[in-house]
Structure 1
Amino acid sequence: MQYRRAYQPGGRYFFTVVTHRRQKLLTPPENIIKLRQAFRHVMNTHPFTIDAIVILADHLHCLWQLPGNDADFSTRWMLIKRHFSIQFHTPTQARREKAIWQLRFWEHLIRDEEDWQKHMDYIHYNPVKHGYVKQPAEWAYSSFQRAVKQGLYHENWGMGEEPKRVRGMELE
């Protein structure tokens, strides 16, 4: 079966990117710095905006908006992964890649505002779902606090029970 990606200029996308064999290497503070540097580096040459992001120990989720004339998220992910990976002194594998990331990633083209909000909620609730914290506001490695400042959420959102919009979603 041939997998075909949905490329849409100016599209909004949800992504899941996972480390190789689910290594828990993303959340040490020095690696968060490296990952942020990788994103900034790529955004300088291949612009896009990040609507939401969460970084967990072995994977990350994010929502991007691409420029109106550009649909090439694959190159952006290749460059982010590469820029992050070159900062590690690990041997390369048969395909001359370091064993830092899974080879592929999951993407979903956002269809409308409701779909966007559902994926925003999924991103921000993810640390609670995985048992890292009791509410999204407690997780340092996400855009939740920025979303609160933008008025998209209240500070205690996601505390107590799983939000309705994310029930049954499994995007790992």
Structure 2
Amino acid sequence: MQEPISLSTVFSYTKPHYITVLTHQKQPLFQERFSCELLLNIITYNKYALYYRVFGMVIMPDSLHIIFHSSFVQLYQVVRKTIGNFDRYYHQITGKLLPFWDSDYYAYPLEDYDTLKKVQDHIHREPVRHGLVKDPEDYLYSSYRFYEQEGDEFILLLDKLSD
């Protein structure tokens, strides 16, 4: 995989990007179902508001791994809007004023379909690599079932791949 690019760097509107966003000090803040569900709702809303596509995602206890393709809005704006909205609603609903996100984000441009598919497979295996489940299909907050088993979970969030 290539070196990550800065989110403020000019990026290609014609290519999807693999994004990793970490929680503050890698705390397992997504162990709470509420946090995961809130994030999924915000990403889904922003997808339609900002006109981007999502080709895979996994919410790990300490990070979000997602494949975005934005044709209209710069990538850093998509990420800032997502984490900004999450912070605002998380604090409003829970009353907790803790820093949720780390200041470092990682973005990798995906050059072609084969690379996108490899990265998608990689993120789907994150829960197994971290010992959270034995099989990727068993992890709740993953797009694995949508892509590998033609499931209908996250149907509003995820987009079908075409090579």
TM-score by length of structure 2 reads: 0.79
Q: 2:24 aligned to 14, 20, 24, which one?
A: 20
Q: How does 1:70-149 map to 2 (within 5 A)?
A: 70=72, 72-86=74-88, 87-88=90-91, 89-91=95-97, 99-149=99-149
C-alpha distance in structure 2 between counterparts of 1:134 and 1:37, whole Å: 27
Q: Name the residue aligned to 1:163.
A: none
Q: Cα RMSD (Å) of the superposition?
A: 2.0
Gaps of 5+ in 2: 1-5, 152-163
Percent identical pairs in the alignment equals 21
Gaps of 5+ in 1: 92-97, 152-172
How far the C-alpha of 1:71 sits from its partner, in A, is 5.3
Q: Which has the higher contact order (CA 8 A, sep 6+)?
A: 2
Q: Which has the higher strand share?
A: 2
Q: Which stretches of structure 1, 4 residues or longer, exceed 6 Å deviation after superposition? A: none
Contact persistence 1:10–1:71 (CA under 8 A)? no
- Give the letter for the 2:76 counterpart: S
Higher helix share: 2
Flag the structure with larger Rg: 1
* Residues 51, 73 of structure 2: 8 Å contact kept: no
In the TM superposition, residue 6 of structure 1 has moved relative to its aligned partner by 4.9
> 1:49 & 1:26 partners in 2: Cα distance?
23
The answer to whether the 8 A contact 1:27-1:55 is kept is no
Shift of 1:138: 0.9
- Counterpart-to-counterpart distance in 1, 2:67 and 2:128: 18
